[in-house]
Amino acid sequence: MNSLQKQYDLDKHTWDECAETYERQIVGGHPDILAFENFEEDFLDRVLRHLSQVQNRPVKLMDIGCGSGRLHLRYGAKTQHITCLPESHPLYALKQNVPELAFDPLIAEKLREVWGIDFSANMIGLAKEKLETSGLNGNQTIALTFEQGSAFDLNEQSDKCMPLAISLVNSIGVMQGQAGAVELFKSMRRAVEAARGIAIISCYQQEYVQSYGLGQYESTLDVSGQPVWMIPDTYASSQYRQIPKSYKLAHSKDLTLVVDVFNSENQLVKKGHQLQREPGRTERVIRTGDIDTYSEYKSHWYSFRKIDDLINEYWGTENSFHFKTKYLDALRAEPAQLAILDYGQHLNQIFKSWKVL
Ligand SMILES: C[S@@+](CC[C@H](N)C(=O)[O-])C[C@H]1O[C@@H](n2cnc3c(N)ncnc32)[C@H](O)[C@@H]1O
């Protein structure tokens, strides 16, 4: 078995294990991550609206590493008009409580399908559950579909639809290291090239590991495990759950983290246990962008330069764009970057108006 396949199998197990906590703590948790996800969603809304105006084909949105299906829920809801729903419908209440999920006529005009792929059966299970609870169980106006499988095996899409493939919130960083990143670039290109579609990779930058990354992983250690740069490792094993007292936000200077420790029977073992950064290991994470925890969780924050190299090598320069998201939104998207492959030059106009080119 080659090393990429071996890492794939290991990571698949890790993601199946952490699916539920990931959903609670990351998707609906850490404020900086939520802010960035909101930025990604607003960005995608704008792209979809623009595509509705500048091209004729229906759009197929492809969410690569779709996790618990936040795009399925968002666009399932945004393409459904509240007046078509009975008041007893779960989506009716959801739409009334969350203004962002209001009907968007421009998006609804062209978006025909949200398709997602993820290797974790548990993640896809959560996504389907979420759609079911929201009343998006087959009667909505667009198709909401999933496939359990590898992000590296995407099929070439037919040109009947315009494929818009997107990989969000640093999914590339958890896709089996640099060999996985290369496969993701190749696979997304294969999916959209013939149909003259768009591929977008949204990820963090290594340059922000110190100001954003360390604190994020530290204060979500109950999801992905105790970071290896935090000591002591007394409660780092899977026998214990360490629950942080608060989130560490961007630019925090705090080198410590206080947690309550619980055993597998959910009994409190130690209150106010203090972890602290080990300087040598912390320096290594900042220098390499390699995030490791005691639970075998691995992530990588790619430098701006490295993503540039991947774009040049696997997407070419003619149809691609690369920019720092802080130039679009310094408050919500300071630490990230967008890599974009746009075969039809569909997005030139908005990029020019945003002055990111
Ligand atoms: C950071 S999460 C993002 C989830 C979701 N896109 C979101 O924005 O909430 C990354 C997702 O990628 C999935 N994943 C990691 N490697 C994968 C691979 N090689 N193929 C398919 N899915 C993968 C994980 O199961 C996980 O759900």
pLDDT digits (tens, 9 = 90+) for 240-283: 999 999 899 999 999 999 999 999 999 999 999 999 999 999 99
Q: How much of the chain is helix, strand and coil, in % rounded to 5?
A: 45, 20, 35
User: What's the pLDDT at 1?
Assistant: 64
Q: Are residues 129 and 261 in the same domain?
A: no
Tokens representing residue 333 in the block: 């998207």
Q: Please report, as a single letter, which amino acid is at residue 106.
A: L
The number of folded domains in the chain is 2
* Same domain membership, residue 254 and residue 309: no
Closest CA to 67 of 182, 165, 167, 217: 167
Ligand 1: residues with CB < 6 A are 8, 11, 15, 27, 65-67, 70, 117-120, 123, 150-152, 168-171, 174-176, 180
Substitution site in 42, 118, 182 for ligand 1 pocket (most atoms within 8 Å of beta carbon):
118
Same domain, 18 and 135: yes
Residue 170 Cα: closest atom of ligand 1:
1
Query: Are both 41 and 162 inside the same structural domain?
Result: yes
Whether 108 and 48 have beta carbons less than 8 Å apart is answered as: no
* Residues paired with residue 323 on neighbouring β-strands, in sequence order: 338
Mean pLDDT across the stretch 111-123?
97
- The average pLDDT across 7-21 equals 89
Cα(331)–Cα(325) distance, rounded to whole angstroms? Answer: 10
Tell me what the mean pLDDT of segment 18-47 comes to. 86
Whether 157 and 217 map to the same domain: the answer is no
- Do 179 and 68 belong together in one domain? yes
Mean pLDDT on 126-153: 93
Whether the predicted pLDDT of 139 surpasses 90: no
Q: Which atom of ligand 1 is nearest to the CA of 150?
A: 20
User: Which residue's C-alpha comes closest to atom 13 of ligand 1?
Assistant: 65
* CATH number of the domain enclosing 87: 3.40.50.150
Mutate to test the pocket of ligand 1, among 5, 23, 114, 174 (most ligand atoms within 8 A of CB): 174
Which atom of ligand 1 is closest in space to residue 169's alpha carbon? 8
Same domain, 109 and 194: yes
Confidence at residue 25, expressed as pLDDT on a 0 to 100 scale: 59
Residue 250: phi and psi, rounded to 5, are -50, 145
Ligand 1 centroid distance, CA of 300 (Å): 13
Nearest-CA residue for atom 26 of ligand 1: 67
Q: What is the dihedral of CA 254, 260, 261, 264, to 10 degrees?
A: -130
pLDDT of residue 23: 74
Maximum CA extent, the chain: 61
Measuring CA to CA, how many Å separate 52 from each of 44, 121, 258?
12, 33, 49
Nearest CA to ligand 1 atom 12: 65
Say if residue 77 is in the same domain as residue 169: yes
Token digits for 161?
A: 């639809």
Ligand 1 atom at minimal distance to the Cα of residue 67: 27
Position 27 confidence tier, pLDDT thresholds 50, 70, 90:
low
Please check whether residue 211 is in contact with residue 254, taking contact to mean a CB–CB distance below 8 angstroms. Answer: no
For residue 26, what pLDDT is reported?
60
Token reading at 181: 């990143």
Within this chain, do residues 105 and 238 fall inside the same structural domain, yes or no? no
- What pLDDT score does 20 carry? 81
For tokens 């607003």, name the residue. 42
Together in a domain, 69 and 161: yes
pLDDT for 216: 94
The band of 70, judged by pLDDT with boundaries at 50, 70 and 90, is: very high
Mean pLDDT of the residues in the chain? 94
Task: Looking at the structure, tell me whether residues 265 and 237 fall in a common domain.
Answer: yes
pTM greater than 0.85 (yes/no) = yes
Q: Where are any strands of DSSP class E within the chain?
A: 59-64, 111-118, 143-148, 162-167, 198-204, 230-231, 240-244, 256-263, 268-277, 290-292, 298-300, 320-324, 336-342
Nearest CA to ligand 1 atom 2: 171
User: Containing domain of residue 135, as a range?
Assistant: 3-205+302-354
Residues 184 and 281 in one domain: no
State in Å: Cα 227 to ligand 1 middle: 20
Residue that finishes a domain, picked among 253, 283, 298: 298
Q: Which residues contact 22 (CB under 8 A, 6 or more apart)?
A: 15, 67, 68, 123, 223, 224
Least trusted range by pLDDT, from 17-26, 133-142, 256-265: 17-26
Sole residue written with tokens 């002055």: 355
| C-alpha 101 to ligand 1 mean position (Å) | 23
